Structure 1
Amino acid sequence: MSENQNKWYVLRAISGKEAKIKEYIEAEMKNSSLGEYVSQVLIPTEKVAQVRNGKRVIKERSYLPGYILVEANLVGEVAHQLRSTPDVIGFLGGMEKPSPLRQSEVNRILGTVDELQEASEDLNIPYLVGDAVKVTFGPFSGFSGIIDEVNGEKKKLKVMVKIFGRKTSLELGFMQVEKE
């Protein structure tokens, strides 16, 4: 079997079961002849960073929920084996003869996923200018103020805080404050 016979197909799956299906197919690849015909199983995922309760949390979520990319040579019973995997609904693009993805589509999907993982450091900034915040960490913890400036690149905020009756500008990190 030459490598160029393998094409990319899309399996439709029950949303949330993608990882379980991938594990099942990979186990079948090792334990049966399916490994001769299926070369890769991918779940396109992206990393998303959020600030929750003052802590930075990075979660990985499916970029295309309900879909699994499979690089395979669909000869004989291979399509039937993949279609009959638990929690798989079927192939995208036809029940009898599934349509493979064009190489340009595969490159775009895989390229988009690579870009999303490289840009994983982008943070959903939960703060806006004018929001009231309370300092939770550092020498000024307990003070309240108003956000004057948001710098997403440095993950810093300029907060106007009243200290001894005078407004003072503090530069604080996203993790040092919480919304009031």
Structure 2
Amino acid sequence: MERWYAVQVRTGREEAVLQLSKKMIDGSVLKECFIPYYERMKRYQGEWHKEQYILFPGYIFLVTEQVDELFWELKKVPGLTKILGDGMEFVPIKEEEKVILQKMGGSDHIAEMSKGYVIGDIVTVISGPMKEMKGKIKFIDRHKRLAVIEIEMFGRKTEVRLGLEIVMKLSADTRLLEDDYEKDTI
């Protein structure tokens, strides 16, 4: 059965370790190796630019059916800190965590920008990966077009940054027509 494993690496070396893993680990053992990214907008030179950032700094993800063989293959790869486990054996990420990663990033493992609006203190996400994450927004920075959400990952609650563009902000006493936007309040 194919399982996903999180491997800790030195922050800032994720891409280098990913490339080494793809090159050095036998393809029959390693089905996929990836880094989840998120998109966000950044303003420079007077314009907004879409950029990608690592969703979980310090981690890469490996997909395999043969975890014991993967362990020996990882010995060849410099820069790996450790594969997450319980001290006795390697523990794959939970199925719910895998589903969250798949919903957020799809097959490309890139969480696209979400769009939403604010009425009073209520944020309504109308498109993007955050649309499915009701009640998980902890903080929104409208100027940086960024949201911090809390999800269960690596067996603990983890705060993650995702791109969020607020396309409209209205006061609490303003009413929208139901046809204007989907109701999906977080």
Q: Same fold (TM over 0.5)?
A: yes
Letter in 1 for 2:60: I
Alignment of 1:56-95 (within 5 A): 56-95=48-87
Structure with higher helix content: 1
Alignment of 1:20-169 (within 5 A): 20-29=16-25, 34-114=26-106, 116-119=111-114, 125-126=142-143, 153=167
Q: Which consecutive unaligned segments of at least 5 residues does structure 1 have? A: 128-151, 155-180
* Greater Rg by CA: 1
* TM-aligned CA distance change 1:89 to 1:95, over 3 Å: farther
Selected match of 1:8 from 4, 28, 36: 4
SS at the partner of 1:35?
A: coil
Q: Report the Cα offset of residue 55 of structure 1.
A: 1.6
Q: Could you tell me the percent identity over the aligned residues?
A: 17
* TM-aligned CA distance change 1:21 to 1:96, over 3 Å: farther
Length-normalised TM-score, structure 1: 0.57
Letter in 2 for 1:116: A
CA RMSD of aligned residues (A): 3.0
Number of residue-to-residue matches in the alignment: 122
* CA distance in structure 2 between the aligned counterparts of 1:119 and 1:104, rounded to whole angstroms: 21
Letter in 2 for 1:153: V
Q: Report the Cα offset of residue 8 of structure 1.
A: 0.7
Length-normalised TM-score, structure 2: 0.55
Kept in 1, the 8 Å contact 2:4–2:98? The answer is yes
Q: Report the Cα offset of residue 86 of structure 1.
A: 1.3
